[in-house]
Amino acid sequence: MQRNANRTKPMKLVIERAALLKSLSHVQNVVERRNTIPILANVKLDAQGERLGLTATDMELSLAASEPARVAEPGMTTVSAHTFFDIARKLPDGSEIALEQAEGSGEVTLQAGRSVFTLPSLPGDEFPAMAFEDLDVRFRVPVEDLKRLIDKTRFAISTEETRYYLNGIYLHAAKAGATSTLRAVATDGHRLARVEVDLPEGAKDMPAVIVPRKTVAEIRKLIEGIEGEVQIAVSPSRIQFMLERAILVSRLIDGTFPDYERVIPTGNDKAAVLEAKPFADAVDRVATISTERARAVKLRFEPGRATVSAVSTEAGRAVEEIDADYAGEPLEIGFNARYILDMMAEIDGGQVRVEMANAAAPTLVRDPGDAGTAYVLMPMRV
Amino acid sequence: MIEAAGRATIRRLPEALANRIAAGEVVERPAAAVKELVENAIDAGASRIEVRIEGGGVDLIQVEDDGGGIPGDELAVAVERHATSKLKDERLVVIETLGFRGEALPAIAAVGRLALTSRTPSCPHALCLAVEGGRPAPPRPAPGALGTRVEVRDLFFNVPARRKFLKSTRREGELVVDVLKRLALAWPGVAFRLEVDGREAFRVPAESEALLGLGPERLRLVMGRDFLENAAEVEAERDGVRLVGLAGLPTLSRNHGRLQHLIVNRRPVEDRLLRAALRVAYADLLFHDRQPLAVLRLDLPFDAVDVNVHPAKAEVRFKDAGAVRGLVVGALKSTLARHGHRVATSVGGAALARMRPNVSAHASAPVGLAEADAAFAFQAPVGGDEGPWVRLDGAAVPGPVPVPGVEGPLGTARAQLFDAYVVSETGRGLVLVDMHAAHERIVYEGLKAELEAGGVRRQALLIPDVVELEPPERAVLLDHAGELRRLGLVVEPFGDAVVVREAPALLGQAPLAPLLRDLAEDLAETGEALALERGLFAALSRMACHGSIRSGRRLTLGEMDALLRRMETTLYSGQCNHGRPTHVALDRADIERLFDRR
């Protein structure tokens, strides 16, 4: 510790609590609760010019943000991210926070009003930096489009680690007829979600990449409540999101995403159009009866109507009928209720179109009011 | 030094050397020699066999029997290789005796100093034949009783390599004890006595046909005192194959399998098939690494089993392995289902022992057969041994619910301790019930029944999982595809791999490749998809754990009684899903003894 302490450089600044919290609350999120490398539990503080930079990393992704501050002595250090955040959070509204580290000291002093905290620090130059390498392709995406790409697919991301290449969103440029699109796809092997937006200028040559689940979650939090555009830079191994006050750099999943287009059915000839909300509500109600973990519900389509039902030897039976625009042969098909509900939560239009082949084959679900989205569900069989 | 000395010529080995090499196959240590000699004595019709060893059997092995003896003119032939009086069927199909190859005596004679003294009823005196290093001297008259006495001194005196690899004298002696105990277990009609370095190691009398003809004295000797009290009788017969035995209660388990004795046609054997059958039958009752106790005796027509597959005859091969496995698994499962709510009395005994720290560990008096029977009767479920709720497939069927107030085997609830245990009074004493463990098993059996009734739901896979497997793994999985489908797993061949099309919905997104490999191993070894059942049951077990009452919940007497009554009608309620006991019984007599009232 002593050896480290001698290398620390002085730093001194004052920052408003509100400004600090705005960035720190995002940045500390990246820090894992448990770390084998001590410095990864810390946030890097970098006082330069009239700003305080805050950086955290888990070696897979790195989030840097900065806020205006009154810097008396420019310098760099690191302190425990979660402790620093908790202190800042508990300080009263409107506080001004003074941070100071003496040259050669292994401690940072934090003072606000009559509170003084002394936190152990590790030298800032030992903080692992994620190289901002030359990223081949740069383009700008409207925040609304980015939200859409994430929201409509992330529920289908797999959490099962052996098929690691499914643990993220597959982002790539695609062609939908004559128009070029930026497309996001996620699947866990039981269901799949696909959504596309207009291809931004400059994204034509982007490599197809798999963005890890944690990165997806972090960038989604960062763009909540903001407007405008996000600049994205991408190479085959990295992706970088640049916002006004923050930069997120992340490694990408090194793997091959399955050829998803092959599993999206194109010839399903039994189509039903349902009112979205009554359908979702019926599934939710009927699934109350499915006590087991895999909550199975059965859908029966007949001309003019659909029946949602569930049977449990312990909890009884449930049946609910809903209107359906269906003209084909009667068809019975089972699904995991949770899969239906996850998907229905992302259907914004008033209606949903269910295209089926038979009780064993992939079923395609579309939002008639949103041509850019498609969902595939595999049936459950009893 | 190894020199590059050109090519060595091929030459025929001298006979003595060849015999010594062959002997090593049969007699690899003193215990093996003892086994061969005692089997000879049994084949000679002995009713009493005495064994003495010194120096772990290396210095001396002496086996004396009261069997038929060997006529004088056959003594010299007896020690020649491949000479035997036992093999009547030269096709090796019907082998009725323990020995048949004519190898034991010459093998022992080749590696030790052998003296064979024998007297037949028609001869006025015994004859003694001495053999050293394979060369017999002419027989000479000697004193001796009716029967045969074989003495082997200086075992391996001419095979230093073998001697070097022997374990300590003590360990070799223990192995002799083990071998003889196993033979004693297989032959209840023969009295055995073993003397180690001049001291009696054990002695068992010839026993009658009590307790399925298994011999309670030797069971107690080999399996320990707790076993008889805490085992259930197994009996089954099908197509000329007869199984008898005792299966230990799940709560009497060990962390090793050494107390699993398998006897096939009176031959103690190590058999993977029978061990696997035990594993299958206890699969849902024991923790993964625990092993049940059991003595199983299988008698089947001699031509339905091949004993000539192992030099020391430690393994056998069944003609119809599937049928034998089915019989054993079925019999064990139905026995365990009938006795599933029992908890080993040793659990209660251990608790009592803790309660009297000041009294020297005087264990309770040995339990006689009558008491064991009484224990069985007491522990028997309501409705007798063949209650309507017993189903061999392991599903619980709702049985008759006893009228409230009428006491079942688990008695009447009196109080709750620490918000976690129910105290109940029975006709015989008191019972302590771990309410969470007990309720967990009840909920679990309910979920299992639901699964069996409703079928296993299968989630079809959008991206079928291709799993690379070794050819034998792949073959065994595809052979059992039908059964796997019933359990929710649909596999199909895919080039050299298999592809999983549908998986049990209950397993969520669990990785399939490791499951498939475990399954292939189970199927190859036991013929049953244990890993898959285990996976499904583990998912149920987690649900059961969440769905059952926890400690800290205060119950009314009515709720406690209801719990006791449901335990009595639930399969395997003697242990929770993790193999822990759900209740402990303390006898009134034992409680009274705590207060010196007895």
Residue A148 sits in the same domain as residue A257: yes
Residue B256 sits in the same domain as residue B121: no
Residue of A159, A376, A380 with shortest CB distance to B457? A380
Residue A121 sits in the same domain as residue A142: no
pLDDT in tens, B127-151: 888 887 667 777 888 887 888 888 9
Cα–Cα distance measured from residue B287 to residue A219, given in angstroms and rounded to the nearest whole number: 45
pLDDT in tens, B531-563: 777 777 777 776 666 667 777 777 777 788 888
Residue B509 sits in the same domain as residue B593: yes
Distance from CA of A158 to the nearest CA of B (A): 8
Is the ipTM above a cut-off of 0.85?
A: no
SS3 content of chain A, % helix, strand, coil (to 5): 25, 45, 30
Q: Give the domain-ending residue among A224, A242, A262.
A: A262
Given pLDDT bands bounded at 50, 70 and 90, which one contains residue B343? low
Which residues in chain B have Cβ-Cβ distances shorter than 8 Å to A381?
Answer: 457-460, 502
pLDDT in tens, A90-145: 999 999 999 999 887 889 999 999 999 999 999 888 898 776 666 778 999 999 99
Residue of B450, B502, B511 with shortest CB distance to A381? B502
Which residues in chain B have Cβ-Cβ distances shorter than 8 Å to A190?
Answer: 459-462, 509
| Contact between chains at A378 and B458 (C-beta distance less than 8 A) | no
Q: In this structure, what token pair is assigned to residue B598?
A: 């007895």
Tell me what pLDDT residue B25 has.
66
Span B224-252, average pLDDT: 84
Q: Which of A289-293, B450-454, B549-553, B564-568 has the highest mean pLDDT?
A: B564-568
Q: Is residue A317 assigned to a domain? A: yes
Give the total residue count for chain B: 598
For the four alpha carbons of B462, B467, B471 and B474, in that order, the dihedral sign comes to negative
Q: Low-confidence residues of chain A, pLDDT below 50?
A: 1-5
Cα–Cα distance measured from residue B392 to residue B572, given in angstroms and rounded to the nearest whole number: 13
Tell me what pLDDT residue B389 has.
34
Do the beta carbons of residue B536 and residue B488 sit within 8 Å? yes
Residue A86 sits in the same domain as residue A165: no
Q: Any CB–CB contact under 8 A between B404 and chain A?
A: no
| Contact between chains at B457 and A382 (C-beta distance less than 8 A) | yes
Q: In this structure, what token pair is assigned to residue A171?
A: 């982002």
CATH of the domain at B43: 3.30.565.10
Residue of B450, B462, B509 with shortest CB distance to A313? B450
Q: Is residue B424 assigned to a domain? A: yes
| Contact between chains at A160 and B458 (C-beta distance less than 8 A) | no
Q: Is residue B103 assigned to a domain? A: yes
- Residue B225 CA, distance from chain mean position: 16
Per the model's pLDDT, the better-predicted residue between A218 and B272 turns out to be A218
Residue of A187, A293, A311 with shortest CB distance to B462? A187
Q: Is residue B188 assigned to a domain? A: yes
Burial of A2 (0-12, 13-18, 19+ CB in 10 A): exposed
Give the total residue count for chain A: 382
Q: Give the domain-ending residue among A262, A295, A322.
A: A262
| Contact between chains at A190 and B461 (C-beta distance less than 8 A) | yes
Residue A149 sits in the same domain as residue A247: yes
Tell me what pLDDT residue A115 has.
93
For the four alpha carbons of B250, B252, B254 and B257, in that order, the dihedral sign comes to negative
Residue A243 sits in the same domain as residue A296: no
**How many domains would you assign to chain A?**
3
**What order of strands is seen across the sheet that includes strand B429-434?**
B412-417, B421-425, B429-434, B583-587
What one-letter code names the amino acid at B207? E
- B527 in helix, strand or coil? coil
| Contact between chains at B505 and A160 (C-beta distance less than 8 A) | no
Cα–Cα distance measured from residue A240 to residue A202, given in angstroms and rounded to the nearest whole number: 15
- At residue B326, φ and ψ (nearest 5 deg) are -60, -45
Which residues in chain A have Cβ-Cβ distances shorter than 8 Å to B462?
Answer: 187, 189-192, 263, 362, 376, 378
B358: pLDDT strictly greater than 70: no
Q: Is residue B137 assigned to a domain? A: yes
To the nearest whole percent, how much of chain B has pLDDT over 90?
A: 4
CATH of the domain at B322: 3.30.230.10
Do the beta carbons of residue B544 and residue B444 sit within 8 Å? yes
Question: Closest Cα partner for B61 from B156, B181, B182?
Answer: B156
Span B448-462, average pLDDT: 78
Cα–Cα distance measured from residue A66 to residue A378, given in angstroms and rounded to the nearest whole number: 45
- Residues 6 or more apart whose Cβ sits within 8 Å of residue A74: A11, A47, A48, A49
CATH of the domain at A23: 3.10.150.10
Cα–Cα distance measured from residue B267 to residue B265, given in angstroms and rounded to the nearest whole number: 5
B193: pLDDT strictly greater than 90: yes
Tell me what pLDDT residue B4 has.
52
Span B178-207, average pLDDT: 89
Which residues in chain A have Cβ-Cβ distances shorter than 8 Å to B460?
Answer: 190, 360, 362, 378-381
Residue B249 sits in the same domain as residue B147: no
Residue B122 sits in the same domain as residue B149: yes
**How many domains would you assign to chain B?**
3
Tell me what pLDDT residue B393 has.
39
Cα–Cα distance measured from residue B311 to residue B25, given in angstroms and rounded to the nearest whole number: 6
Residue B151 sits in the same domain as residue B39: yes
Q: What is the pTM of this model?
A: 0.62
Residue B467 sits in the same domain as residue B433: yes
Residue B297 sits in the same domain as residue B427: no
Tell me what pLDDT residue A27 has.
92
Give the domain extent around B392.
Answer: 345-356+372-598
| Contact between chains at B506 and A293 (C-beta distance less than 8 A) | yes
Residue B152 sits in the same domain as residue B231: no
| Contact between chains at B505 and A360 (C-beta distance less than 8 A) | no
Residue A148 sits in the same domain as residue A256: yes
Distance from CA of A267 to the nearest CA of B (A): 16
Q: Is residue A382 assigned to a domain? A: no
Residue B549 sits in the same domain as residue B446: yes
Per the model's pLDDT, the better-predicted residue between A93 and B344 turns out to be A93
Q: What is the DSSP letter of A209?
A: E
List C-alpha distances in Å: B188 to B42, B69, B97, B206: 11, 21, 16, 6
What is the phi-psi region of residue B160: left when phi exceeds 0, alpha when psi lies from -120 to 50, beta otherwise?
alpha
Tell me what pLDDT residue A147 has.
95
Residue A150 sits in the same domain as residue A120: no
3-state secondary structure B24-35: HHHCCCHHHHHH
Residue of B449, B455, B459 with shortest CB distance to A190? B459
Tell me what pLDDT residue A208 has.
93
Residue B198 sits in the same domain as residue B232: no
| Contact between chains at A190 and B462 (C-beta distance less than 8 A) | yes
| Contact between chains at B460 and A360 (C-beta distance less than 8 A) | yes
B340: pLDDT strictly greater than 70: no
For residues B11-45, b (16+ Cβ closer than 10 Å) or e, as one string? eeeeeeeebbebbbebbbbbbbbbbbbbbbbbbbe
Span B252-274, average pLDDT: 82
Per the model's pLDDT, the better-predicted residue between A96 and B525 turns out to be A96
Give the domain extent around A158.
Answer: 137-262
Q: What is the mean pLDDT of chain B?
A: 76
Q: Give the domain-ending residue among B204, B233, B253.
A: B204
Beta strands in B138-221, from DSSP E residues, in sequence order: 140-142, 147-153, 191-196, 199-204
Which residues in chain A have Cβ-Cβ distances shorter than 8 Å to B508?
Answer: 293-294
B364: pLDDT strictly greater than 70: no
Span B451-462, average pLDDT: 79
Q: Is residue A131 assigned to a domain? A: no
> Count of H helices and E strands in chain B?
20, 23
B196: pLDDT strictly greater than 60: yes
B331: pLDDT strictly greater than 60: yes
Q: Any CB–CB contact under 8 A between B458 and chain A?
A: yes
To the nearest whole percent, how much of chain B has pLDDT over 70?
A: 77
Q: Give the domain-ending residue among A126, A154, A171.
A: A126
Q: Any CB–CB contact under 8 A between A158 and chain B?
A: yes
Q: Is residue B561 assigned to a domain? A: yes
Q: Any CB–CB contact under 8 A between A264 and chain B?
A: no
For residues A230-266, b (16+ Cβ closer than 10 Å) or e, as one string? bebbbbeebbbbebebbbbbbbbbeeebbebeebbbe
Q: Is residue A132 assigned to a domain? A: no
Q: Which residue of B has its CA nearest to A160?
A: B509
Residue B235 sits in the same domain as residue B319: yes
Which residues in chain A have Cβ-Cβ distances shorter than 8 Å to B459?
Answer: 190, 294, 336, 378, 380-381
